C-alpha cells in the first residue's frame, strides 16, 4: 500500500468464505470492561488499511471486526463463483459472515456509506438477524436513489454509463489501460470533489493521498466497482421496515447526498433515527487521515451510546 501500516498487520488474517479469498481485520477492545462486539463494514472503493485509523477509535468501545467485501480490498469478486456483484448478493455474503463469526453473540453494526446499504438490505432479507443487533449506525450511509444530490438526468447518465463500464471486457481495458498512476492522479485533481479536498492539503499530504488512491483503484475489481456504482443510482431500500432504531452520522459537507432526504428515508424504514452531523471536507475524511482526524466520525453523543455496555 502507499501508506505503510505495520501496526495493523498483526490483526489481519486470511478470510476464506463461500469460495472467495480475502482478508479480515480483528482487534480487541482497549478496555477490559467494554465487551461490545462491533462489526464495521467499509464502503465503496475500500480496503482494510484505509480504515485502520477509524478502527483505532472504535477500539475504545469494544472488539472490532472488519471483513473484506467481495471485489474490494483485494478480495476475489463474486464473478469467481459465478455470481454478479449485486446488493442482494453482498447482503447474502454479510449474513453468512455474521452467522459464521458471531453465532450466539449480539453485535453492533456500523456501516459506512455503501456498507450501510448492504447492512440494511441484509436485515430486510434476514429478519431473524435483527434480534442480534444491539446498535445500528449509518456512517454517511444512504437508502434511496433520491438521496443523491444529482439531478435525475445526471443520475440516469451515471447509471447507464457505469453499467457499460462494468461489463467485463470494458472493465478489463479500463484496468490495464486507464487505471495507471498518471491517469488517476490527473483525473482526481480535475474532478470537483478532488479539487475541494486537495485544496485544503499541503503538497506532501496531497501526494500521499493521491498515491494511496492509485493503490485503491488498482486493488479493487474494476467491474465490481462500476456495477455497484450503477446499482447505487437506482437503489431503493425503503420497501421493507426494520424493527430497530438507527443512528445517522451525516457529513456537513457531503458532496453526494442530501442529508435531510436521507434522514426522511431512514424514518420510513427504521423505528427511529438519531442524527448527528460531523464536519469534514467531503463525504469522509481523507485516506491518509490519522486517528485524531478520523475521530470526528464519532460525535460525542454516539460515543456515549457506544460506551454503554449492551
pLDDT exceeds cutoff 50 at 112: yes
pLDDT exceeds cutoff 70 at 196: no
- Which distant-in-sequence residues (6+ apart) come within 8 Å of 267 by Cβ? 273
Cβ contacts of 147-156, under 8 Å, gap ≥ 24: 147/257, 147/258, 147/261, 147/262, 147/265, 148/232, 148/233, 148/256, 148/257, 148/258, 149/255, 149/256, 149/257, 149/258, 150/233, 155/233, 156/233
Q: What is the pLDDT of residue 155?
A: 95
Average confidence (pLDDT) over 198-224: 75
Q: Are 248 and 120 in contact (CB under 8 A)?
A: no
Higher-scoring residue by pLDDT: 280, 301: 301
Q: Are 111 and 121 in contact (CB under 8 A)?
A: no
Q: What is the pLDDT of residue 146?
A: 96
- Can you give the pTM of this predicted structure? 0.90
Could you tell me the CATH number of the domain that includes residue 135?
A: 3.40.50.1820
Higher-scoring residue by pLDDT: 29, 217: 29
**Is residue 137, in this structure, part of any structural domain at all?**
yes
pLDDT band (50, 70, 90) for residue 285: confident
**Is residue 17, in this structure, part of any structural domain at all?**
yes
Question: What is the grid cell recorded at 45?
Answer: 472503493
**Is residue 136, in this structure, part of any structural domain at all?**
yes
**Is residue 138, in this structure, part of any structural domain at all?**
yes
pLDDT exceeds cutoff 90 at 190: no
Nearest to 284, CA basis, from 122, 127, 110: 110
Average confidence (pLDDT) over 8-20: 93
pLDDT exceeds cutoff 80 at 20: yes
pLDDT band (50, 70, 90) for residue 127: very high
Domain coverage including residue 31: 9-149+236-307
Cβ atoms within 10 A of the Cβ of 102, count?
15
**Is residue 188, in this structure, part of any structural domain at all?**
no
**Is residue 41, in this structure, part of any structural domain at all?**
yes
Q: Number of folded domains in the chain?
A: 1
- Comparing 14-28, 167-181, 189-203, 205-219, which segment has the lowest mean pLDDT? 189-203
Q: What is the pLDDT of residue 83?
A: 96
In tens, the pLDDT along 243-270 reads 999 999 999 989 899 999 999 999 999 9
pLDDT band (50, 70, 90) for residue 167: very high
Mean pLDDT taken over the chain? 90
Q: Are 90 and 224 in contact (CB under 8 A)?
A: no
- Comparing 62-71, 134-143, 178-187, 221-230, which segment has the lowest mean pLDDT? 178-187
Average confidence (pLDDT) over 234-247: 97
Higher-scoring residue by pLDDT: 3, 188: 188
- Comparing 64-78, 169-183, 193-207, 274-288, which segment has the lowest mean pLDDT? 193-207
**Is residue 212, in this structure, part of any structural domain at all?**
no
**Is residue 168, in this structure, part of any structural domain at all?**
no
| φ, ψ for residue 48, nearest 5 deg | -55, -45
Amino acid at each position: 500500500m502507499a501508506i505503510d501500516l505495520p501496526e495493523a498487520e498483526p490483526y489481519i488474517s486470511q478470510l476464506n468464505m463461500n469460495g472467495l479469498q480475502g482478508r479480515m481485520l480483528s482487534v480487541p477492545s482497549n478496555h477490559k470492561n467494554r465487551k461490545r462486539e462491533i462489526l464495521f463494514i467499509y464502503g465503496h472503493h475500500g480496503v482494510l488499511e484505509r480504515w485502520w485509523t477509524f478502527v483505532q477509535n472504535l477500539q475504545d468501545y469494544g472488539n472490532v471486526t472488519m471483513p473484506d467485501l467481495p471485489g474490494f480490498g483485494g478480495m476475489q469478486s463474486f464473478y469467481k463463483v459465478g455470481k454478479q456483484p449485486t446488493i442482494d448478493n453482498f447482503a447474502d455474503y454479510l449474513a453468512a459472515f455474521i452467522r459464521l463469526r458471531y453465532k450466539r453473540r449480539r453485535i453492533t453494526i456500523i456501516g459506512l456509506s455503501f456498507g450501510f446499504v448492504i447492512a440494511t438490505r441484509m436485515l430486510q432479507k434476514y429478519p431473524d438477524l435483527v434480534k442480534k443487533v444491539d446498535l445500528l449506525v449509518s456512517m454517511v450511509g444512504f437508502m434511496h436513489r433520491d438521496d443523491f444530490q444529482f439531478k435525475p438526468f445526471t443520475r440516469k447518465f451515471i447509471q447507464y454509463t457505469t453499467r457499460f463500464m462494468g461489463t467485463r471486457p470494458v472493465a478489463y481495458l479500463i484496468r490495464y489501460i486507464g487505471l495507471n498512476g498518471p491517469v488517476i492522479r490527473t483525473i482526481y485533481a480535475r474532478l470537483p470533489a478532488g479539487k475541494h479536498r486537495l485544496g485544503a492539503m499541503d503538497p506532501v499530504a496531497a501526494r500521499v493521498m493521491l498515491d494511496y488512491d492509485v493503490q485503491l483503484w488498482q486493488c479493487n475489481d474494476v467491474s465490481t466497482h462500476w456495477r455497484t456504482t450503477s446499482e447505487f443510482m437506482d437503489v431503493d431500500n425503503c420497501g421493507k421496515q426494520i424493527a430497530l432504531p438507527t443512528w445517522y452520522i451525516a457529513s456537513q459537507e457531503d458532496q453526494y447526498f442530501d442529508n435531510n432526504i436521507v434522514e426522511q428515508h431512514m424514518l420510513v424504514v427504521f423505528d427511529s433515527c438519531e442524527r448527528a452531523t460531523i464536519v469534514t471536507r467531503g463525504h469522509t475524511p481523507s485516506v491518509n487521515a490519522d486517528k485524531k482526524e478520523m475521530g470526528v466520525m464519532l460525535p460525542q453523543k454516539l460515543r456515549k451510546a457506544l460506551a454503554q455496555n449492551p
